[in-house]
């Protein structure tokens, strides 16, 4: 168990007396590229998490150790101060430093501390290991120094860390899911107002499984292009409907009205987003009725839209989606920004073994890569252990 591992390592390095915290990775069942369009997302915290052992050390320095949550492969330990000029070189340590700095910017006093981090959130699988790290560190510092931040503020601190210390201009979904996750529920998050609602997710007789293509995400310019497409369409619609600020506010009829004023590429991308926002709302209503067949149908529709209209899929993801259909999987789609990563699959328990066997065998034969399989269960968010 991770907690035993980090307890032993902490005591070996820094002595006894640590407190322990955890924060999970996340999945998003449906709702892709809707966040920056003012729409909704439907994430949930999962049973893959980051774990932290931490103790104030009475100095003005941080001593950090990360045996496996260390994508730099440079050093597993880092020591740094808490002033802006003390920013560590190791990327993984910058998350810890950034959270502490963002808390300091909000008028709180943080002293030196010792910290060991470890976890089992897969890196590069689209399960937001970085948000899990930010939330775990934030929750821990908030508690041991009695800072008084609520969960919403901790999510914003994690997002600000990404923006200001990691250089990723992410939305709020990942940190929100890590902080607000609830066992047996997904979170319908309004990305415009940040209002949220827990939606029941108790898929008895089904399993939720991710299959990692092991194709690297390459978002960058492609991501920005699609965002700009959406913004151009909103600008065109707003000339006739001044109250429209996001595609979330637009209808398909409004989009049709400006068809001759935008490019065909911008049009079809906007069409996907408007349809996707409605699909998410329909999926939420189906979940409230335990109608997982409808949820699965919506997941397949999302994949088709992401592949053919928003064009953010790839051959590997489309291949796994087709295998899922052939195996009778209830729902399957690309999860995340696209261009690689995982498919998320809702599969009946009795079909699970046959599906995984066929998918892994066929994928390896086709692409000469062994895909990675992650079973996930929806669990609680950040907490003290």
* Helix (H), strand (E), coil (C) string for 146-169: CCCCCHHHHHHHHHHHHHHHHCCC
Three-state DSSP class for 19?
Answer: strand
Q: What is the mean pLDDT of residues 126-150?
A: 94
Measured CA to CA, the distance from residue 28 to residue 284 in angstroms comes to 13
Q: What is the mean pLDDT of residues 257-282?
A: 97
Q: Is the pLDDT of residue 270 over 70?
A: yes
CA 192, 196, 202, 208 torsion-angle sign: positive
Q: What is the mean pLDDT of residues 294-313?
A: 96
Measured CA to CA, the distance from residue 13 to residue 114 in angstroms comes to 9
Q: What is the mean pLDDT of residues 174-200?
A: 95
| Helices 129-144 & 91-105 angle (0-180, nearest 10) | 50
Q: Is the pLDDT of residue 125 over 80?
A: no
Measured CA to CA, the distance from residue 99 to residue 94 in angstroms comes to 8
In contact, 91 and 118? CB cutoff 8 Å: no
Measured CA to CA, the distance from residue 126 to residue 132 in angstroms comes to 12
Q: How far apart are the first and last CA of the chain?
A: 13
pLDDT band of 376, cuts 50, 70, 90:
very high
pLDDT for 68: 63
Instruction: Tell me phi and psi for residue 65, to 5 degrees.
Output: -140, 130
Q: CB atoms < 10 A from the CB of 2, how many? A: 18
Which residues make Cβ contacts (< 8 Å) with residue 245, sequence separation at least 6? 38, 234, 238
Q: Is the pLDDT of residue 73 over 90?
A: no
Can you read off the two tokens belonging to residue 19?
Answer: 């407190």
Q: What is the DSSP letter of 74?
A: S
pTM: 0.90
Q: Name 342's bridge partners.
A: 212, 335
In contact, 302 and 312? CB cutoff 8 Å: no
pLDDT for 336: 83
* Mean pLDDT of all residues belonging to the chain: 93
Region of 234 please: left (phi>0), alpha (psi -120 to 50) or beta: alpha
Burial class of residue 38, CB neighbours in 10 A (0-12, 13-18, 19+)? buried
Q: Is the pLDDT of residue 201 over 80?
A: yes
Domains for the chain: give ranges and CATH numbers.
Answer: 2-201 (3.30.230.10), 206-376 (3.30.70.890)
Strands 77-81, 40-41: parallel, antiparallel or unpaired by DSSP? unpaired
Can you read off the two tokens belonging to residue 96?
Answer: 């810890």
Q: What is the mean pLDDT of residues 144-172?
A: 92
pLDDT for 330: 98
Q: Is the pLDDT of residue 199 over 80?
A: yes
Residues, the chain:
385
Task: Choose the weakest-confidence range: 2-6, 22-26, 318-322, 342-346.
Answer: 2-6
CA 150, 152, 153, 157 torsion-angle sign: positive
Task: Please choose, from the candidates 209, 187, 212, the residue with its C-alpha nearest in 3D space to the C-alpha of residue 197.
Answer: 187
pLDDT for 239: 95
Can you read off the two tokens belonging to residue 283?
Answer: 């999926």
Q: Is the pLDDT of residue 235 over 60?
A: yes
Residue whose pair of structure tokens reads 């999302």 in the numeric block: 302
pLDDT for 3: 85
pLDDT for 220: 55
Q: Which residues are marked as active site?
A: 174
Which pLDDT tens digit goes with each residue over 74-96? Answer: 558 999 999 999 999 998 999 99
Which DSSP string corresponds to 104-134?
HHTT-----EEEEEEE-PPTTSSS-HHHHHH
Q: What is the mean pLDDT of residues 304-330?
A: 96
pLDDT for 171: 80
Q: Is the pLDDT of residue 69 over 60?
A: no
């Amino acid at each position: 168990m991770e907690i035993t591992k980090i307890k032993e390592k902490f005591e070996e390095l820094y002595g006894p007396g640590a407190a322990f915290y955890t924060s999970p990775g996340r999945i998003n069942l449906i709702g892709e590229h809707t966040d920056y369009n003012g729409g909704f997302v439907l994430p949930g915290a999962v049973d893959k998490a980051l774990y932290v052992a931490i103790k104030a050390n009475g100095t003005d320095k941080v001593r950090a150790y990360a045996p496996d949550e260390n994508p730099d492969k440079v050093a597993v330990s880092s020591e740094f101060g808490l002033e802006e000029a003390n920013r560590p070189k190791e990327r993984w340590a910058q998350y810890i430093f950034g959270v502490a700095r963002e808390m300091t910017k909000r008028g709180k006093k943080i002293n030196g501390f010792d910290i060991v981090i470890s976890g089992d959130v897969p890196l590069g699988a689209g399960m937001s290991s970085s948000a899990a790290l930010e939330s775990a560190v934030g929750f821990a510092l908030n508690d041991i120094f009695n800072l008084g931040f609520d969960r919403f503020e901790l999510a914003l601190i994690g997002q600000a860390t990404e923006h200001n210390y990691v250089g990723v201009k992410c939305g709020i979904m990942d940190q929100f899911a890590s902080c607000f996750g609830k066992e047996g529920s997904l979170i319908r998050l309004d990305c415009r107002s940040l209002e949220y609602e827990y939606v029941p997710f108790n898929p008895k007789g089904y399993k939720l499984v991710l299959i990692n293509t092991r194709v690297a995400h390459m978002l960058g310019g492609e991501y920005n292009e699609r965002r700009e497409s959406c913004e151009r369409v909103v600008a065109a619609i707003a000339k006739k409907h001044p109250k429209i600020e996001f595609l979330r506010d637009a209808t398909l009829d409004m989009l049709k009205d400006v068809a001759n004023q935008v490019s065909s590429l911008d049009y079809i991308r906007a069409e996907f987003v408007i349809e996707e926002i409605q699909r998410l709302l329909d999926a939420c209503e189906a979940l409230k009725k335990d109608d997982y067949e409808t949820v699965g149908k919506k997941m397949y529709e999302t994949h088709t839209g992401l592949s053919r209209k928003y064009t953010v899929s790839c051959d590997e993801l489309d291949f796994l989606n087709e295998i899922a259909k052939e195996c009778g999987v209830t729902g399957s789609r690309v999860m995340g920004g696209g261009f690689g990563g995982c498919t998320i699959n809702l599969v009946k328990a009795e079909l699970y073994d046959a599906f995984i066997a066929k998918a892994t065998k066929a994928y390896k034969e086709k692409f000469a890569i062994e895909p990675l399989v992650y079973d996930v269960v929806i669990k609680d968010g950040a907490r003290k252990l």
